[in-house]
Amino acid sequence: MKRWVGWRKKLIFFALLPAVCIGLTTCGGGGSSSSSSSPPPPVSNSQPIEVDLGPANNYVNGLFTSVTVCAPGTSNCQTIPDVLVDTGSEGLRLLSSAVTLSLPAETDGNSNDLQECMSFADGSYLWGPVATADVQLAGEKASSVPIQIVSANPSYAVPSQCTSGGGSNENTVASLGANGILGIGNFRHDCGTACTSSSTAPALYYLCPNSVCGAVTVGLTAQVQNPVWLFSRDNNGVLISLPSVSATGAPTVAGTLIFGIGTQSDNALGSAVIYTTDSSGNFQATYNGIAYSNSYIDSGSNALYFLDHNTLGIPDCSDNPGWYCPSSTVSYTVTNTGLNGATGPVSFNIANADSLFSSNGGNNAAFNDLGGDSGTSTSSDYFDFGIPFFYGRNVFVGINGQPGPNGSVGPYWAY
Amino acid sequence: MAAVLAAALCGSIPAGAVLGEYANSIPLDQQHLRAQLHETVRQGYTVQRLKSPDGRIVREYVSPAGVVFGISWTGPTMPDLRQLLGSYFGQLQQVAQSRQPHRGPLIVKSKDFVLESGGHMRSFHGSAYVPSLLPKGISPEVIR
């Protein structure tokens, strides 16, 4: 009952102040509100983001924001806080435990709900149905967007293909460390054309007639997708702007998520250089004369994951394998090269992860010098520029097929 | 309510060649992945390369004794590691399921099993090998 009351309060709030507050994530926080008699401000294309320990109070370098979802075409809305901002995936995925709103399911002609298994490189996965919602971010709105609802209590047994990565079903706040994932990466759809043909479709989408789940093909419009490209404007990408942090870290870092690239006064490219990516979102990072072509930038990665401790000559942490623990901070410079030939250096530091984790009594969440192994040897290595890369930078994410400034077309990064 | 255009995909999952076992069932992997098989003989080992229509590539590294000592993968989605790792899958599960919430590559390093899995949606890659099964004089660097 309490949940229902909370939902109702939000509904009334939105109904009272639609012009001022729809989609403004700060509205749900109960802060001071502007007078309803003043003229409505221009529709905003920016909203706050924050690095903090997250809702499970243990996430390092997690970038979070709030997302408002509404039943399509209605003012029945709910603002969900603590959603992870992920430029390494596409589409909104929300824990069922965080969603009190009733959203229509995507179904086939026989009323079977479409299910999805979203797998991650660490072996974990998200399993649950695809629903349709209007998604509001800042003053922007995408209508009838397919999103994934990650089931706390799945209606159907998780298919064995879905568990074949070996990791956990991250269907709780404790396991995911967030209320959901907002995938706003370089692409429009989470799967794309591969999922539209039975000869190329991976086991990503499922139908479960008679409670037996089998993988199916899904057309583009029904796929879970990046809500940004469905906005009526400011729809060619996003800008993530985070300030610098000190070498020992910070408990929180507040920044801004801005929609559109070169579409308004607050999202001009300025001096940022465009690095186009391949069709998978990767570019080349060169270190010590070796080019690592599967490299990428990813706000959903919580550290700088690159090379391996043997190649670098610095130790892994003894108690935290996979994290780097140099005895003193080490500086690196890498040269990134886009598919368009744009090239430029990136410099960063790697500090002792054990020292970082224990700094400030273990209360720091944001570190610009946290690193770990990406592979086990030169042959499997790459650079994954996670959240530390974003501190002190404006990072633009260009969406595939969407025209940007100076004749550019996504997928690209610019910084 | 959007209608879903859907068609069932091939669903059977036969057992196949797995890490640490004899490679004579690789044709079953080929069937599972609906893949083209390509074999390359190198100095001291053989690489069986399986490429499936969705762009996934799995390489199985086979010793002169016929044992799969390493595997690697690349593709738009994660491969079936339960099938490819066989009895080593449990070690992966143990590490993968004990992580504090965060996103990044997965590294498993034990005395008899090494695995790395990385990448992102549309671009996953990784490798695994059994150090004790490496043919004499062969470096794990060949597994790529």
Cβ–Cβ < 8 Å for A318, A257:
no
- How far apart, in whole angstroms, are the C-alpha atoms of residue A162 and residue A165? 7
What is the strand order of the sheet A383-385 is part of?
A343-350, A330-337, A283-287, A290-297, A383-385, A304-306, A371-372
Are residue A205 and residue A288 in the same domain, yes or no?
no
Cβ–Cβ < 8 Å for A132, A106:
yes
> Where do the structural domains in chain B lie, given as residue ranges?
23-142
Q: Is the pLDDT of residue B116 over 90?
A: yes
- The verdict on B41 touching A (C-beta cutoff 8 Å) is no
What is the total count of domains within chain A? 2
Alpha helices in B37-135 (DSSP H): 81-85, 89-96
How many separate helices (H) and strands (E) can be counted in chain B? 3, 7
The segments of chain A whose pLDDT lies below 70 read 1-43
User: Which amino acid is it at B92?
Assistant: L
The predicted-structure confidence for B31-82, as pLDDT tens digits, reads as follows 666 677 888 999 999 999 988 888 889 999 999 999 999 999 999 989 999 9
| pLDDT for the residue numbered B17 | 73
Q: What residue ranges in A233-300 does DSSP mark as E strands?
A: 237-242, 253-259, 274-276, 283-287, 290-297
Q: What is the DSSP string of A103-152?
A: -PBPB-TT-PBEEEEEE-TTS-EEEEEEEEEEEEETTEEEEEEEEEEE-S
Contacts of B80 in chain A (CB under 8 A): 161, 164
- How far apart, in whole angstroms, are the C-alpha atoms of residue B63 and residue B47? 9
DSSP conformation class of A305: E
- The verdict on B104 touching A (C-beta cutoff 8 Å) is yes
Question: Token pair for residue B52?
Answer: 């499936």
- How far away is chain A from the Cα of B91, in angstroms, using its nearest Cα? 9
DSSP conformation class of A32: -
- How far away is chain B from the Cα of A385, in angstroms, using its nearest Cα? 10
Q: Is the pLDDT of residue B5 over 60?
A: no
Q: What is the ipTM, given to two decimal places? A: 0.86
Are residue A392 and residue A352 in the same domain, yes or no?
yes
**Most distant CA pair in chain B, distance:** 60
- B 60-89: CB under 8 A from A: 72, 76-83, 85, 89
Instruction: Please list, in sequence order, all residues whose beta carbon lies within 8 angstroms of the beta carbon of residue B78, skipping any fewer than 6 positions away.
Output: A119, A120, A121, A123, A164, A165, B117, B124
Final residue belonging to a domain, choices A230, A253, A268:
A230
- How far apart, in whole angstroms, are the C-alpha atoms of residue A304 and residue B60? 29
| pLDDT for the residue numbered B54 | 81
Pairing of strands A62-70, A125-137: antiparallel
The predicted-structure confidence for A94-128, as pLDDT tens digits, reads as follows 999 999 999 999 999 899 999 999 999 999 999 99
Are residue A132 and residue A277 in the same domain, yes or no?
no
The conformational region for residue A99 under phi > 0 = left, psi -120 to 50 = alpha, else beta, is beta
| pLDDT for the residue numbered B31 | 64
Instruction: Please list, in sequence order, all residues whose beta carbon lies within 8 angstroms of the beta carbon of residue A171, skipping any fewer than 6 positions away.
Output: A95, A96, A97, A126, A127, A128, A150, A151, A152, A154
Beta-carbon count within 10 A of A377 CB: 21
Closest Cβ–Cβ partner in A119, A161, A194 for B54: A194
Question: Token pair for residue A292?
Answer: 């690592």
Are residue A20 and residue A125 in the same domain, yes or no?
yes
Are residue A161 and residue A209 in the same domain, yes or no?
yes
Q: What is the mean pLDDT of chain A?
A: 90
Are residue A217 and residue A278 in the same domain, yes or no?
no
Beta-carbon count within 10 A of A162 CB: 23
Question: Token pair for residue A344?
Answer: 């430029």
Final residue belonging to a domain, choices A170, A195, A230:
A230
Per the structure, the complete domain to which residue A185 belongs is given by: 2-230
Residue of B nearest to A175 (CA): B101
Chain-centre distance for alpha carbon B137: 22
Helix (H), strand (E), coil (C) string for A248-259: CCECCEEEEEEE
Are residue A76 and residue A135 in the same domain, yes or no?
yes
Are residue A141 and residue A258 in the same domain, yes or no?
no
Instruction: Please list, in sequence order, all residues whose beta carbon lies within 8 angstroms of the beta carbon of residue A271, skipping any fewer than 6 positions away.
Output: none
Closest Cβ–Cβ partner in B72, B97, B117 for A121: B117
| Percent residues over pLDDT 90 in chain A | 85
Final residue belonging to a domain, choices A211, A230, A249:
A230
CB contact under 8 A, A59 and B102: yes
Residue A118: name the closest of A200, A53, A43, A180 by CA: A180
Cβ–Cβ < 8 Å for A283, A294:
no
Instruction: Give A183's strand partners.
Output: A86, A91
| pLDDT for the residue numbered A25 | 31
Closest Cβ–Cβ partner in A201, A300, A382 for B118: A382
CB contact under 8 A, A375 and B116: yes
Are residue A334 and residue A202 in the same domain, yes or no?
no
The predicted-structure confidence for B81-112, as pLDDT tens digits, reads as follows 999 999 999 999 999 998 877 889 999 999 99
The predicted-structure confidence for B8-37, as pLDDT tens digits, reads as follows 554 333 335 789 998 876 666 666 666 778
- How far apart, in whole angstroms, are the C-alpha atoms of residue A306 and residue A323? 10
Are residue A225 and residue A291 in the same domain, yes or no?
no
| pLDDT for the residue numbered A33 | 39
